[in-house]
A and B are shown apart, each in its own frame.
Chain A
Amino acid sequence: MARELWRRLLGWEGLLLVLLLAVLGFNITRVPNFLTVANQINLFQLGIEKAIVVLVMTFVIISGEIDLSVASMMGLSAATAAALFESGAPMLLAIIVALGVGAGFGLINGYFVAIVGLSSLAVTLAGYVGFRGLARLLVQDRSVGGFPEWFTRLGQQGLIGPLTLSIIIFAMLAIVATVVLHFSGFGRLTYVIGNSAQVARYSGVSVARTKLIIFTASGFISALAGVLMAARLGAVRASTAEGFELDIITVVLLGGVSIFGGVGSMAGVLLSTYLVLNLRNGLVIAGVTGNTQTGIIGLLLILSVLVPNLAGRVRERLRRRQPDPSLRGPPQEAADPARSQTAPG
């Protein structure tokens, strides 16, 4: 167990931890009120919907697929809830329908990927365009607001102490996702499918079922995130959450999940989530513009894979006889024990 921990620290998660500590150090020294509770809550609140979707996107990518439609789904669910509420439906009903829409369209995505056998990139690209279009159709050029007070209060104010509903949901989902991914048959199957869809075909039914479940969950969780976002912002427009998909995928990849599937850990993804949240927070407070923020995160994404790769190569060259895989970079390197870690047990 201790050895396993040590391996991980030398591997991807360790790298993220070092980066995180560096960013934290920078923020604490440079940003006056960084460690205040209010700022820490803010830091989470600002990216909480993305963080929630990141959890389910991890499953999607580990299973070797991709879901580009998540942000459009967030917009669609928010728009659905808003349009229903606007036309006189009770808020609770509107929320339930919005979540149903998410699960339904997620199921449809899953159907086309798992049963029809289309590429998930193509299917969810259609969803990316189409769901946003439906959202646009529902609320058109309006900004729908005036939600019941309980709804916006849930989105904006602390429920347990300073912790908002979104943060609590995120925390719970993070635990569930970790357990499912690393300690359940479903999680194990997700890795196996992602490692090699061909090999996993030995049981076509369970492969299809797993993917169906993952995509349905992706739709549902995205819809949930969309509703939470509506509550936090107190108003809904058709453009809600536009462009989030790239941020979400970036965080998952930075967490060490291989875009080719089969590799990655929830610990890495959670670390990278917190890292990016901190980075953005520190940069915003330091008055860095949006473009530069995106650029820095882009650079980080590249360097986080490039540097260990090059370092690994140099080390390998230095002592050819005893290659130490633990410092090698992520994706592609499926031989790396710290990263090819499928579910234990």
Chain B
Amino acid sequence: MTVLLRRIRPEQFREFILLAVTIGLLLFFAAQIPNYFDPRSVNRLTTGLAITLVVAVGQVLVVLTRNIDLSVSSIVGLAAYMTGTLLTRDTTLSPFAAVLIAMAIGLTLGVVNGLIVAYGGVPAIIATLGTLALYRVILVEFSGAKTVTTADLPDWLNDVPSATIVTIAEYDLRLMVGVALVVVVLGLLILRYLPFGRRLYAIGSNPEAARNAGLPVKRDVFTAFVISGALSGLAGFMFLVRFGNITVTAAQGLELQVVAAVVVGGVAIFGGSGSMIGALLGVLLIEILQQSLLRWAGISEFVKDAILGLLILVAVTADTIILGRLREMWARVRRRDRAARQALTADEGGLAHGA
């Protein structure tokens, strides 16, 4: 144990814990629900994850900077609706162009968010609570209460949801899931290797210090919102593809879903700590919980939300308590190590070691 503690930081343990909890849940539901790991079920479940995952990646970037983007659900809805409308008017539009248009719509809305928050100095929760409502109003006004229906959409759109990149023993990797995975990997790479990504952590853990150190705080926060917007736009396109019929209520409530996943994943909303992996595991956990509860024949339709709430609380509590214990142990081991090292260096009468 102490060997492990020497090598790994507590935050990384959190990811293991989340993974363990997720696997535990999967096993539990597998025991309760017949054919749980049946290829068809698994394919459906993974496809269901894709949209939330894409939105969550953008959200993590924003949340890391101590901000939050509550407007994502309205952006997803608006991008889905507008792209859908364009496609019904011009069915010759290429798939590639359609994706770009959806992302551009999201990006534009993200720019508005970013300007208000980063350059207008409005706290993100206020700004995006406002744009959450405003973007939805734009959607309602724009739509004139019409629905985008699959019948009017070009035929290629219908093939996208079941389009599969590769199938291994009947387990599909669907195109939508593939797209989500690419976004996830890009997100991870940005955070790990790009200076921009590293700066996001710095800004989140101490905005004041980051500013004093001359980091372009405003620009980075702005960029995070723009990326979140663009990814929500992409999610909007996926939404259009998957559900086909877009009403003005499209994606309503998705913001809480995403925030819940991010919070469960251990990203501190006002603390600026946490990891992309943790957040993505959070998405996985929440989605699996929800989808499995839907499929669990053993319980009544009316108990499900109560159970979901309880499970969220249990997951968060277990996570925090275990993490707290580990932190203490970690600190103790470190202290002991340092003491040992200091004793050692004192003996050798020389070189100072950094902790």
- Check if B308 sits within 8 Å of A130, measured CB to CB: yes
Q: Does A341 contact B (CB under 8 A)?
A: no
Q: Does A128 contact B (CB under 8 A)?
A: yes
- Give the interface residue-count category, chain A: 35 or more
Q: Does A132 contact B (CB under 8 A)?
A: yes
Q: Which chain B positions have C-beta within 8 A of A140?
A: 302
Q: Does B95 contact A (CB under 8 A)?
A: no
Tell me the complex Cα distance, A289–B136, Å: 13
- Our pick among B129, B260, B269, B306 for the contact of A253 (Cβ within 8 Å) is B129
- Check if B123 sits within 8 Å of A133, measured CB to CB: no
Q: Does B24 contact A (CB under 8 A)?
A: no
- Check if B302 sits within 8 Å of A136, measured CB to CB: yes
Q: Which chain B positions have C-beta within 8 A of A332?
A: 121, 123
- Our pick among B122, B259, B263, B313 for the contact of A305 (Cβ within 8 Å) is B122
Q: Which chain B positions have C-beta within 8 A of A246?
A: 129
Q: Is chain B's interface secondary structure helix, strand, loop, or mixed overall?
A: helix
Q: Which chain B positions have C-beta within 8 A of A132?
A: 305, 309
Tell me the complex Cα distance, A137–B303, Å: 6
**What total count of A-B pairs have CB within 8 Å?**
139
- Give the interface residue-count category, chain B: 35 or more
A114 to chain B, nearest CB (A): 13
Tell me the complex Cα distance, A117–B320, Å: 8
- Check if A294 sits within 8 Å of B136, measured CB to CB: yes
Tell me the A120-141 residues at the B interface (CB within 8 Å).
Answer: 121-123, 125-134, 136-137, 140-141
- Our pick among A116, A122, A128, A289 for the contact of B321 (Cβ within 8 Å) is A116
Tell me the complex Cα distance, A313–B259, Å: 32
Q: Does A299 contact B (CB under 8 A)?
A: yes
What 0/1 pattern do residues 306 to 322 of B give for CB contact below 8 A with A? 11111011001100110
Q: Which chain B positions have C-beta within 8 A of A292?
A: 137, 140-141
- Check if B130 sits within 8 Å of A125, measured CB to CB: no
B311 nearest in chain A by CB position: A126
Q: Does B264 contact A (CB under 8 A)?
A: yes
Q: Does B132 contact A (CB under 8 A)?
A: yes
- Our pick among A116, A117, A130, A259 for the contact of B310 (Cβ within 8 Å) is A130
Q: Which chain B positions have C-beta within 8 A of A133?
A: 303-309
Q: Which chain A positions have C-beta within 8 A of B310?
A: 126, 130
Q: Does A27 contact B (CB under 8 A)?
A: no
What 0/1 pattern do residues 301 to 328 of A give for CB contact below 8 A with B? 1100110011001000000000000000
Given contacts A259-B125, A302-B122, contact A128 B133 (CB under 8 A): no
Tell me the complex Cα distance, A130–B307, Å: 7
Tell me the B287-305 residues at the A interface (CB within 8 Å).
Answer: 302-305
Tell me the complex Cα distance, A132–B116, Å: 34
Tell me the complex Cα distance, A112–B125, Å: 23
What 0/1 pattern do residues 246 to 281 of A give for CB contact below 8 A with B? 100110010000111000000000000000000000
Tell me the complex Cα distance, A21–B333, Å: 63
- Our pick among A117, A123, A131 for the contact of B324 (Cβ within 8 Å) is A117
Q: Which chain B positions have C-beta within 8 A of A259?
A: 123, 125-126
Q: Does B131 contact A (CB under 8 A)?
A: yes
Q: Which chain B positions have C-beta within 8 A of A329?
A: 121-122
Q: Does B21 contact A (CB under 8 A)?
A: no
- Check if A298 sits within 8 Å of B129, measured CB to CB: yes
- Residues of chain A having any CB pair with chain B under 8 Å: 112, 116-119, 121-123, 125-134, 136-137, 140-141, 246, 249-250, 253, 258-260, 289, 291-292, 294-295, 297-299, 301-302, 305-306, 309-310, 313, 329, 331-332
- Residues of chain B having any CB pair with chain A under 8 Å: 116, 120-123, 125-127, 129-134, 136-137, 140-141, 256, 259-260, 263-264, 268-271, 302-310, 312-313, 316-317, 320-321, 324
Nearest 4 A/B pairs, CB to CB: A130-B309, A133-B305, A133-B306, A298-B133
